[in-house]
A = this chain, B = another copy of it.
Amino acid sequence: MPAVSNRSVDALVQGVLQGEVRSIARAITLVESRAPERLELLAQLFPHTGRAFKLGITGAPGAGKSTMTYQLIPRLKAKGYRVGVLAVDPTSPFSGGAILGDRIRFDDALEGVYIRSLASRGSIGGLSRGVPSAVRVLEAAGFDLVLIETVGAGQLQVDVRFVADTVVLTLVPEAGDVIQAMKAGIIEIADIYVINKADREGATRMRLDLRNALELGGKPKGWNPPITLTEALHGKGVDELVEFIEEHKQYQQQSSGWHTRRLQQLEWELQSLIHDALEQQARSITRQLFSAATLEAVLQGAENPFPKLKAWMGS
């Protein structure tokens, strides 16, 4: 990312507010970077942000998240939403430029939809640190529903809760999937459960197991997360899923849950930005404490690095 002057930040802000696709793309690249100007951009966009509904779609690789996303988009558009998509999944077809270009770009269903993949490298919780910032860019550009597709990998996906207002967990009816999800601690985080590829054997059984698992966990009173069966590939059950999503959104907005959750999201967003800055410091502190010669000596066993670290941490 080349340096961005304050003047070009102003121009970028104007472009984003006017919904220009190229400005949106450049602004997201900027907020994903560590360039100091990203904070100026965020400061200027801030008054136009905070209003979109954020929908998280998560689940293990192969559970059909992207197909589901693709089926949800036209239905959400039909509800009147302007939809933006952030794919934080290296295996998502939405992430691959080529596949996107080949198969999807000219599709009517995606007309007016902004789709962007974000890197998950170096991220915590499997979720790119840039997500909340990218959401703000999309909000400022007028999108009022941001769909966040995240790679599901055990405990790594848990942080989607700190970004999305409604989390949909996609499972497939295969032996052990409920158990794996439980072990990975993701059972508790979803607001809506989808058993996709429901034509496969074991779907009904899985719904039962999942319901039992959820009741074991002692879900908080209030929202009782639905478990719905879909065949995303053929669009089956997706209308029902959209209704559950709308229902959960309304339920939350009418309860105190909305405010608590948004406060958590905000705190996580700010903490991530601070964390990110500290991460850069870690690199330079390491170099300060341990020169190339010292590292060499440590490798030979001639120098013990831990007393030095201990002293630094104690200070």
Residues of chain B within 8 A of A40, CB atoms compared? 306, 310
| CA–CA, A259 and B278, complex, Å | 29
Q: A47-B301, A61-B60, A155-B90 are in contact. Are A313 and B277 (CB under 8 A)?
A: yes
Least Cβ–Cβ distance between A45 and chain B, in angstroms: 9
Residues of chain B within 8 A of A277, CB atoms compared? 312-313
**A89, A121, A312: most-surrounded residue (chain B CB, <10 A):** A121
Residues of chain B within 8 A of A91, CB atoms compared? 154, 180, 183-184
Residues of chain B within 8 A of A202, CB atoms compared? none
Query: Of B154, B305, B307, which contacts A151 at CB under 8 A?
Result: B154
Indicate if the CB atoms of B39 and A310 lie closer than 8 Å: yes
Indicate if the CB atoms of B43 and A306 lie closer than 8 Å: yes
Indicate if the CB atoms of B43 and A304 lie closer than 8 Å: yes
Least Cβ–Cβ distance between A46 and chain B, in angstroms: 5
| CA–CA, A124 and B275, complex, Å | 12
A267-289 contacts to B, CB under 8 A, are 267, 270-271, 273-275, 277-279, 281-283, 285-286, 289
**A39, A153, A155, A283: most-surrounded residue (chain B CB, <10 A):** A153
Indicate if the CB atoms of A36 and B313 lie closer than 8 Å: yes
Indicate if the CB atoms of A305 and B263 lie closer than 8 Å: no
Residues of chain B within 8 A of A122, CB atoms compared? 124-125
Least Cβ–Cβ distance between A47 and chain B, in angstroms: 7
Q: A120-B156, A153-B151, A158-B121 are in contact. Are A262 and B309 (CB under 8 A)?
A: no
Residues of chain B within 8 A of A76, CB atoms compared? none
A4 within 8 A of B: no
Query: Of B90, B180, B304, which contacts A154 at CB under 8 A?
Result: B90
Q: A39-B310, A153-B154, A154-B120 are in contact. Are A295 and B282 (CB under 8 A)?
A: no
Q: A39-B309, A278-B279, A286-B271 are in contact. Are A119 and B155 (CB under 8 A)?
A: yes
A70 within 8 A of B: no
Chain B residue with Cβ nearest A121: B155
A11 within 8 A of B: no
| CA–CA, A36 and B312, complex, Å | 11
A interface vs B, CB < 8 Å?
Answer: 36, 39-40, 42-43, 46-47, 50, 60-61, 89-91, 95-96, 119-126, 151, 153-156, 158, 180, 183-185, 259, 262-263, 266-267, 270-271, 273-275, 277-279, 281-283, 285-286, 289-290, 295-296, 298-299, 301, 304-307, 309-310, 312-314
Further contacts, 19 of them, CB under 8 A, given A121-B185, A266-B295 = A39-B307, A43-B306, A43-B310, A47-B301, A50-B299, A61-B154, A90-B155, A90-B184, A95-B183, A120-B155, A122-B125, A126-B156, A151-B154, A263-B295, A266-B305, A274-B285, A274-B289, A275-B282, A278-B281
